[in-house]
Amino acid sequence: MLTDPIQEFPDNVYPIIFSAKRLNPDNFWQSHQKFGSMSLPNQLKNQHLLWRAGFGPAVEQLPDLSQFTPQQFYNALVKASSKKPDYINVADNYLQGLMMGIDQVGRVQKKDLTPDEKKEIQRKSREGVRNLNLYWLHEMVNSSAQLREKMAFFWHGHFACRNLNVFYQQGLLNVIRQNALGNFGTLLKEVSKTAAMLNFLNNQQNRKGHPNENFAREVMELFTLGRGNYTEQDVKEAARAFTGWSANARGEFIFRQNQHDTDSKTVLGKTGNLDGDDVLDILLDQKQTAHFITKKIYVFFVNEQPDVQRIDWLTERFHKSDYDISKLMADIFTSDWFYDEKNVGSKIKSPIELIAGIQRMLPMKLENEESLIVLQRILGQMLFYPPNVAGWPGGKTWIDSSSLMMRMRIPQLINDEDELNVRPKDDDDQMMGRENTTPSAAPPKKVVFRGSKPINASVDWNQYTNYFDKTQREKLVNSIAGILLQTKTGVDGSVITSYADQSNREEFIKTATIQIMSTPEYQLC
């Protein structure tokens, strides 16, 4: 938890215009002198809920923030997320035609493709993963099913998988989105049988007599029990149970019976001719699995400082509900303690949350959507490209002197026609085949992608500026800060005013908004 958010960011990384003194209670928060779950007004409670159970308030929701209770808002979130999502298919006709033909599939499996064909498939698949990234990000910004997409985003990090096969990634994303609010046991089993995960964790190499332990180890360490709650022998025995689990070129799960070890195995004290499903059931029977998942969800959605008593209570209910994810999230988001002071404004927004949240508040059309990929890379979180199987560590790892400067510059980049001047670290997978045109020894210059352009966003300000129609001019800064910031500390209103365009009321609202979004405080939710 960031007990004093301002102290977490070194002074030397503030933009010059925000280096002036900051107000303490002399801003929007002064009217709520005791900031706690009982005194917190509905507006701030609902903003807190929408940042944690979604990707922040949308501009069209602003008039409702103070009119409805968090329970009413949560009920609406649940209802909007109740419909099963459509399968996202972004693969182009070339790849789809390749996968549809039996002969072509056979050729892929036999690796009879020519070097040029392989190169073209890799190029198109990388492009497909890029399009999948942008499509899902668009859903995070625009979908009314905010709760489902936020839960899917959490599971995307929990079941971290890096795979350049667009069909595999589409299949995994579909499983996660379909089951994001369902039963964790079902989600675990379906994810474990996706081609993306089986290939990423090398289970296609797991055969009788030559077991590969990677998949079994990560299922225990990262997906269910957590490190230290199983033995090396458990891993070895579980790996034998998962022998024969594989997938075909279409991404369909296949159980290769002739590769499966049918001898007796013992996992966590249970002995028998166990297969992969049996092992997953054994893991789900362990209350430690419920505790591991509950704690991880608490840290992600509530506070990075775990509350042992709260987590134990949630764990008990989660386990007794047979891993009902929806009930667990309701226990969290409808509780009084969720809105305690220590939990509000204590979380550093992940890059995806930051990018999506800005777009939800300021609806925009991007001339260059590729810039969203570049921003993800620069900020250190690119959808479908986790750093490793453990996913993104999150928390304070999102912030260093360079990334904070870039984060605070994003609103300016959106509002202006400025170009990015930070060079992302080279990674051929993440660059998706685009060459770095700047020599590696050269200092950082403009964006490294061939054909790079400024973001060039066309922001639709009307609904946003209209929201402040009845706000007195002298109260505008505090009102804007009240909907944008979740922290008790605030920026100096006089500094914001002095650097805002005061030529007319509308321009003042726009520029003050951009200035406030460019502060360290906006990085917290």
Listed residue (165, 255, 156) closest to 204, CA to CA: 255
Average pLDDT score over residue span 262-279: 98
- For residue 359, being part of any structural domain is answered with yes
pLDDT of residue 414: 85
pLDDT of residue 458: 93
Average pLDDT score over residue span 378-388: 97
Report percent pLDDT > 70 for the chain. 83
Residues 224 and 292 in one domain: no
Average pLDDT score over residue span 141-156: 98
- For residue 187, being part of any structural domain is answered with no
Residues 208 and 278 in one domain: yes
pLDDT of residue 450: 39
Q: How far is CA 3 from CA 22, 301, 314, 503, in A?
A: 16, 17, 24, 38
- For residue 426, being part of any structural domain is answered with yes
Listed residue (37, 78, 35, 43) closest to 61, CA to CA: 43
Q: 5 or 506, which is more confident?
A: 506
Domain that holds residue 250: 201-285
Q: Which residues pair with 270 in a beta bridge?
A: 267
pLDDT of residue 425: 53
Residues 39 and 85 in one domain: no
* Helix spans in 195-275 (H): 195-200, 214-218, 232-241
Listed residue (510, 377, 491) closest to 14, CA to CA: 491
- For residue 404, being part of any structural domain is answered with yes
Residues 158 and 111 in one domain: yes
- Model confidence pLDDT, tens digit, residues 41-69: 999 999 999 999 999 999 999 999 999 99
The CB density around residue 36, as the number of other CB atoms within 10 Å, is 13
Q: 38 or 458, which is more confident?
A: 458
Residues 210 and 129 in one domain: no
Confidence of residue 36 (pLDDT cuts 50, 70, 90): very low
Confidence of residue 101 (pLDDT cuts 50, 70, 90): low
- For residue 135, being part of any structural domain is answered with yes
* Overall number of domains in the chain: 4
| Max Cα–Cα distance, the chain, nearest Å | 80
Angle formed by the axes of helices 308-320 and 325-333, to 10°?
150
Domain final residue pick, 260, 285, 310: 285
Domain final residue pick, 179, 210, 228: 179
Average pLDDT score over residue span 122-132: 95
The answer on pLDDT for 334 being more than 80 is yes
What are the residues whose beta carbons fall under 8 Å from the beta carbon of 291, sequence distance 6 or more?
311, 312, 315
What are the residues whose beta carbons fall under 8 Å from the beta carbon of 461, sequence distance 6 or more?
362, 506, 509, 510
- For residue 190, being part of any structural domain is answered with no
The answer on pLDDT for 437 being more than 90 is no
Q: What is the DSSP letter of 272?
A: E
The answer on pLDDT for 23 being more than 90 is no
Residues 355 and 500 in one domain: yes
Residues 131 and 156 in one domain: yes
- Model confidence pLDDT, tens digit, residues 344-367: 999 999 999 999 999 999 999 998
- Model confidence pLDDT, tens digit, residues 244-261: 999 998 899 999 999 999
- For residue 194, being part of any structural domain is answered with no
Residues 226 and 335 in one domain: no
Residues 307 and 281 in one domain: no
Residues 93 and 15 in one domain: no
- Model confidence pLDDT, tens digit, residues 168-218: 999 999 999 999 999 999 999 999 999 999 999 999 999 999 999 999 999
Residues 386 and 482 in one domain: yes
Q: 443 or 119, which is more confident?
A: 119
Average pLDDT score over residue span 313-337: 98
Residues 64 and 102 in one domain: no
Poorest-pLDDT segment among 248-252, 411-415, 439-443: 439-443
pLDDT of residue 492: 84
Domain final residue pick, 285, 305, 334: 285
- For residue 44, being part of any structural domain is answered with yes
Average pLDDT score over residue span 372-390: 96
